[in-house]
């Protein structure tokens, strides 16, 4: 069986989108958003245009929303249809079939076998993550895939591990098939004024449905979080920080970038919103560092000033957008 590929890409020469530039406050957001940023970029589409959904982040009682590109937004703006991929045979076989049909599969895999997670999960821990498969050769045991901030290559034993082909992984009837999707490029991608008008319509819709008092709800729960962190090890803090500080900060950094894109399309008077989003992104990172030191020392302080600044910036950004576009 010969290999198949969708786009002619080389990990050695691939250049990631500016949203994954090294100078970002939050270089990584979450696996699903990061992979879609690069998929859209590789398709020649602008992920900055597809970020109005960041307005809708809520505090969900135990975490800030694990934000994702809404599939309906991707269809509206770019003509992309995302559907669940029914897995009943080998995942790699399904991937080959979809790529042959011009579709890109997105599959949940174990980061233990993803070399781009070296230093975190690779060969250290079993962490679920989403990759987008662009090229695959089953006989050569090679895979070209998008994950986190760029485009990568998997070979050999890592390929076998990802697709559960290793001897110790076989004959396990208790292991479930992974969740998978595929992307059909069966519609028209908007551009120019039509794209901007559609983006502003999406912003109006997301503003109309945004939750009220998200940050205030987080503040109300925060004292209980401190009690919990004081009783848990540092390993727990890393999980907490990913779901609280990173999701908040990364979401608002993306919102700020979206607002700057709007300014580039001629939408004036948004500098204050962009600055407030940047303040939330930086403030969330600073709070994460403060809490990390506190957990390590088992000594917590007063975080009122940090939370006050975050809340003011959070509410200023969303309030200004609501008054203008809501």
Same domain flag for 211 and 174:
no
Residue 64 lies in a domain: no
Same domain flag for 291 and 198:
yes
Same domain flag for 232 and 179:
no
- Cβ count within 10 A of residue 167: 7
Same domain flag for 95 and 198:
no
Residue 290 lies in a domain: yes
- Asked whether the whole model's pTM tops 0.85, one would answer yes
Number of domains in the chain: 2
Residue 75 lies in a domain: no
Q: Which of 164, 185, 206 lies at the terminal end of a domain, its last residue?
A: 185
Same domain flag for 303 and 288:
yes
Residue 73 lies in a domain: no
Residue by residue, DSSP assigns 80-131 as EEEEEPP-SS-HHHHHHHHHHTT-EEEEEEEGGG-GGGTTTTTTT---EEEE
Write out the residue range of the structural domain in which residue 256 sits.
192-325
Placement of tokens 């045991």 in the chain: 141
Same domain flag for 35 and 132:
yes
Per-residue pLDDT of the chain (326 residues; tens, 9 = 90+): 579 999 999 999 999 999 999 999 999 999 999 999 999 999 999 999 999 999 999 999 999 999 999 999 999 999 999 999 999 999 999 999 999 999 999 999 999 999 999 988 889 988 899 999 999 999 999 999 999 999 999 999 999 999 988 888 777 767 778 899 999 998 999 999 999 999 999 999 999 999 999 999 999 999 999 999 999 999 999 999 999 999 999 999 999 999 999 999 999 999 999 999 999 999 999 999 999 999 999 999 999 999 999 999 999 999 999 999 98
Residue 306 lies in a domain: yes
Q: Which of 161, 185, 209 lies at the terminal end of a domain, its last residue?
A: 185
Residue 246 lies in a domain: yes
Distance separating alpha carbons of residues 310 and 277, to the nearest angstrom: 10
Same domain flag for 297 and 165:
no
Same domain flag for 123 and 146:
yes
Same domain flag for 22 and 156:
yes
Residue 24 lies in a domain: yes
Residue 70 lies in a domain: no
Q: Which of 185, 211, 229 lies at the terminal end of a domain, its last residue?
A: 185
């Amino acid at each position: 069986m010969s290999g198949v590929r969708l786009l002619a890409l080389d990990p050695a020469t691939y250049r990631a989108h500016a949203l994954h530039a090294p100078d970002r406050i939050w270089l990584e957001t979450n696996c699903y958003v990061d992979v879609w940023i690069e998929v859209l970029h590789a398709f020649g589409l602008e992920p900055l245009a597809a970020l109005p959904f960041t307005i809708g982040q809520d505090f969900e009682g135990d975490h800030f929303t694990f934000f994702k590109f809404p599939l309906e937004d991707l269809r509206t703006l770019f003509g992309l249809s995302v559907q669940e991929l029914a897995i009943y045979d080998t995942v790699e076989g399904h991937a080959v079939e979809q790529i042959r049909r011009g579709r890109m599969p997105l599959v949940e895999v174990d980061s233990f076998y993803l070399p781009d997670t070296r230093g975190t999960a690779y060969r250290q821990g079993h962490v679920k993550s989403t990759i987008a498969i662009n090229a695959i050769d089953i006989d050569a045991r090679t895979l070209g895939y998008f994950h986190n901030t760029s485009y990568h290559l998997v070979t050999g034993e890592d390929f076998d591990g990802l697709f559960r082909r290793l001897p110790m992984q076989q004959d396990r009837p208790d292991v479930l098939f992974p969740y998978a999707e595929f992307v059909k490029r069966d519609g028209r991608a908007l551009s120019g004024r039509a794209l901007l008008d559609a983006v502003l319509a999406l912003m109006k819709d997301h503003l109309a449905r945004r939750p009220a008092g998200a940050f205030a709800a987080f503040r109300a729960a925060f004292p209980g979080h401190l009690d919990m962190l004081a009783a848990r090890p540092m390993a727990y803090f890393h999980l907490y920080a990913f779901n609280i500080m990173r999701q908040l900060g990364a979401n608002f950094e993306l919102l700020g970038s979206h607002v700057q894109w709007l300014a580039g399309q001629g939408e004036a008077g948004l500098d204050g919103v962009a600055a407030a989003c940047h303040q939330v992104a930086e403030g969330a990172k600073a709070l994460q560092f403060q809490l990390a030191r506190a957990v390590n020392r088992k000594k917590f302080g007063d975080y009122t000033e940090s939370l006050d600044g975050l809340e003011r910036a959070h509410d200023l950004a969303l309030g200004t957008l609501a008054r203008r576009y809501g």
